[in-house]
Amino acid sequence: MNEADPVRRNSNSLILEIQGLGKHFSEFEISDVTFSLEKGYVMGLIGPNGSGKTTTIKLIMNLLKKDRGEVKVFGLDHVKDEKEIKNKIGFVYDENHYYGVLTIEQMKKIVAPMYQYWDERLFQKYLKDFGLNPKQKIDKLSKGMKTKFSLAMALSHHAELIILDEPTSGLDPVFRNELLEILYSLMQDENKAILFSTHITSDLERIADYITFINQGRVVFTSEKDQVLERFSLVKGPNYLLESSLEKQFIGLRKSSVGFEGLTADLEVILPALKEKIIVERPTLDEIMIYLVNRTGMGVT
Amino acid sequence: MNIIISHISGEPIYQQIINQIKTLILAGDMTEGEMLPSIRQLGKDLRISVITTKRAYEELERERFIYSVPGKGSFVALQNCEARIENKRKQIEEMLKHVIKESRLLNLGLAEITEILKNVYERYDPGKVR
Amino acid sequence: MWRIILKDLMVQKSNIFIILFLCISISGTMYRSPGIAGVQLLLGVYFMLIYANSYDFKYNGEIMINSLPINRKEIVLAKYLSAIVYALIIMVIIIPESMILYLFNFPGLTGGIQGIVSFLGIVVLLLSLYISIYLPLYYRLGYMRSRWANFISMFVIFGLIGAVGQLTKMPADELETTSQGLEQLIMILNGYADPVIYLMMLVVGIVLLVLSFKVSVRIYKNKDF
């Protein structure tokens, strides 16, 4: 199901270009990761835990040294022009890496002058909107507040690329909703782009324009989200309808005592064969991911 | 402009947007020259992807329901309503001609065709799961 | 880059008491002996360096720092400069303190301005030695494993301080009982005026630091977080 990168239309508008990225670890490997993101759009990076999403982001940010491949951000090389591009990147990571012993204000005093376009007014506005007290020690903040603080930092220097790595894991739907609202507001500016990695795909189901699915260190597909959801169909029906030639048309099948459920990308082939005793639905991103992951041998179909 | 979409109806979201905007325009609820929300604003309000709204607007523009001014936005185009409705009727006539041609191959008469039409009409609801 | 040094200072607020205690507990060190002053300064820098590094470790702060618009060389430079800043802070405390105590004839203090100059010369060298050994090891081994390396290098340097302290106190004829090479070295050194010797020490110190810095940058540039 590997697809040529669909985003590479207009190089000038590419905020992020990744080509053949690879790194070898003792127990894991990232290989041949290729995808791009145009400005004005949101890309969701999905995949099961441990699939390589965080590793990919760390490689982009040069926190991990790549073995091979090319990464360009704003058209510049991510290692040679590291400083220049990081000026325009806002980051929110899964864990808080800010110095918890310091207060929000102190941390800001350290970080803000390092950015060329720091906007103090914007930062204060975010603090107020998020209900953050600048005199509060970062250690004493709840997980949600820590994420909000990271977000405030990430959004207060006119960053053009916002990278979020699992920002909502461990957080309730109310907060996740707030985050989505903030991201939607951000995307009113068509010069920005967001790379959002998560294993909670329902967050992405709405806002993402593109989806890149990573599993076991490889890109399974990178595509427009709408196209992904339209390409696959969830077919449910009675077991007796299945025969081996038909089963091959399914990416994954779940059989129970009361019927089967399967994911297919070839609905036109299957429909006539099954006539009418079936239900056809659009799958969620979750379901697509589960079936694809299980197909590549990580579970039982 | 009110647009209500369903995520579970099975109908592609961009199609729902197109249909609803068309209806609004044809019914006169939106007037010529009225500005539509930007694709990004619409994406935010409906909580969907910007590519989806873009696709809907592009289709609407292709069918000349709206036009876009770069840097400004999208606006309702001048509608020649009667011409449109007449156009649509002609399209339906053509489709019916095709249906009749096919039916003749099976020797179906008018009564039988009408029966089939009734059945399909009753069962077919574009709003339901396919 | 200066902000990173600021960060290292900010996280140390609670460390102030230990440092002040250290500085004041051995009072008037400038006028006692360069050896004691050296130990005091070294311990001070040691504590502050370790303390700052422990916070880097605790919060995994390097992931955040390396995501900021700064390159790896600057981060390492900030660490080296911070050690020097710590040394300056401690000197700013103990030099005036010593001078004041001397002025008020605090018992046991001898020497004059000479004390300060010799202090600076020797201590700069020893400090450079310590930093030059510790920091590359810190970058290579990480915080946890470098702690013992830190400890051991401290001991080595204390030993050196002791040896140097002894040597400079020995009168010329006793030196004959020690090794020939050392005797010659001391002869040569004694041939130079004191300021020149201290200048040489300064230069050696700086060279050590620069070499160590290059090694550290090499290590840090290849690090994965």
DSSP string, C50-94: HHHHHHHHHTTHHHHHTTSS--HHHHHHHHHHHHHHHHHHHHHHH
C140 interfaces chain A, CB cutoff of 8 Å: no
Q: Between C96 and B58, name the one with better pLDDT.
A: B58
Contact A247, A295 (CB under 8 A): no
Q: Of C182, C6, B120, nearest to A108 (Cα)? A: C6
Size of interface A-B (CB pairs under 8 A): 47
CA gap A242, A56 in Å, rounded: 40
Does position B122 have pLDDT exceeding 90, yes or no?
no
User: Does A226 contact B130 at a Cβ distance shorter than 8 Å?
Assistant: no
Question: Using a CB-CB distance cutoff of 8 angstroms, which residues of chain B are in contact with residue A190?
Answer: 40
User: Does A101 contact C55 at a Cβ distance shorter than 8 Å?
Assistant: yes
CA distances from A6 to A197, A218, B94, C128 (A): 19, 17, 37, 56
CA gap A262, A242 in Å, rounded: 11
CA gap A120, C134 in Å, rounded: 38
Neighbours of A296 (CB within 10 A): 12
Number of compact structural domains in chain C: 1
CA gap C102, C115 in Å, rounded: 11
Q: How confident is the model at residue A19 (pLDDT cuts 50, 70, 90)?
A: very high
Q: Which of A107-116, A212-221, A275-284, C175-184 has the lowest mean pLDDT?
A: C175-184
Mean confidence (pLDDT) of chain C:
79
In terms of residue numbers, what domain contains C129? 1-222
Give me A45's structure tokens: 């990076």
Does position A3 have pLDDT exceeding 50, yes or no?
no
Q: Under an 8 Å CB criterion, which residues of B touch A?
A: 10, 12-14, 38, 40-41, 43-44, 47-52, 55, 129-130
pLDDT per position as a tens digit, A252-280: 888 888 888 999 888 887 777 776 678 88
Residue range A84-91: mean pLDDT, rounded: 96
Does position C24 have pLDDT exceeding 90, yes or no?
no
Query: Chains C, B in contact: 3+ Cβ pairs under 8 A?
Result: no
Neighbours of A275 (CB within 10 A): 9
Question: Please, which residues have CB within 8 angstroms of residue B22's CB and are 6 or more apart in sequence?
Answer: B60, B63, B65
Exposed e or buried b for every residue in B58-89, given b needs 16+ CB within 10 A? Answer: bbbeeeebbebeeeeebbbbebeeeebeeeee
Q: Which of A188-197, B99-108, C55-64, C72-81 has the lowest mean pLDDT?
A: B99-108
Residue range B11-39: mean pLDDT, rounded: 88
In a 3-state reduction of DSSP, which class is residue B118? helix
Q: How confident is the model at residue A5 (pLDDT cuts 50, 70, 90)?
A: low
Q: Of A195, A221, A189, nearest to A5 (Cα)? A: A221
CA distances from A121 to A73, A152, B46 (A): 27, 11, 30
CA gap A233, A60 in Å, rounded: 33
Q: How confident is the model at residue B75 (pLDDT cuts 50, 70, 90)?
A: very high
User: Does A41 contact B130 at a Cβ distance shorter than 8 Å?
Assistant: no
Alpha helices (runs of H) in chain B, residue ranges in sequence order: 13-26, 39-46, 50-62, 81-105, 110-123
Strands A161-165 and A89-92, how do they pair? Answer: parallel
Residues in chain C: 225
Supply the pLDDT for residue A36: 95
Q: pTM here?
A: 0.82
User: Does B43 contact A281 at a Cβ distance shorter than 8 Å?
Assistant: no
Supply the pLDDT for residue C182: 59
Backbone angles phi, psi at B56, to 5 degrees: -60, -45
Contact C27, A57 (CB under 8 A): no
ipTM of the complex model = 0.87
CA gap A88, A95 in Å, rounded: 21
Q: According to the per-residue pLDDT averaged within each range, which of A53-67, A255-269, B30-44 is highest?
A: A53-67
Supply the pLDDT for residue A1: 38
Supply the pLDDT for residue A298: 39
Neighbours of C72 (CB within 10 A): 20
Does position A88 have pLDDT exceeding 80, yes or no?
yes
Q: Between C66 and C166, name the one with better pLDDT.
A: C66
User: Does C3 contact A110 at a Cβ distance shorter than 8 Å?
Assistant: yes
In a 3-state reduction of DSSP, which class is residue A116? coil
Contact B41, B73 (CB under 8 A): no
Contact C57, C144 (CB under 8 A): yes
Give me C71's structure tokens: 């390159």
Q: Which residue has the tokens 């599993």?
A: A215
Q: Between C97 and A88, name the one with better pLDDT.
A: A88
Contact A199, A47 (CB under 8 A): yes
Q: Which of A150-154, A187-191, C70-74, C176-180 has the lowest mean pLDDT?
A: C176-180
Q: Between B129 and C38, name the one with better pLDDT.
A: C38
Instruction: Give all chains having 3 or more CB-to-CB distances under 8 Å with chain A.
Output: B, C
Supply the pLDDT for residue C148: 81
User: Does B49 contact A281 at a Cβ distance shorter than 8 Å?
Assistant: no
Supply the pLDDT for residue C53: 92
Q: Of A11, A166, A2, nearest to A93 (Cα)? A: A166
Interface of A with B in 209-238 (CB under 8 A): 209-210, 224-226, 230
CA gap C158, C114 in Å, rounded: 22
Write out the H or E segment, with its range, that includes residue A73: strand A68-73
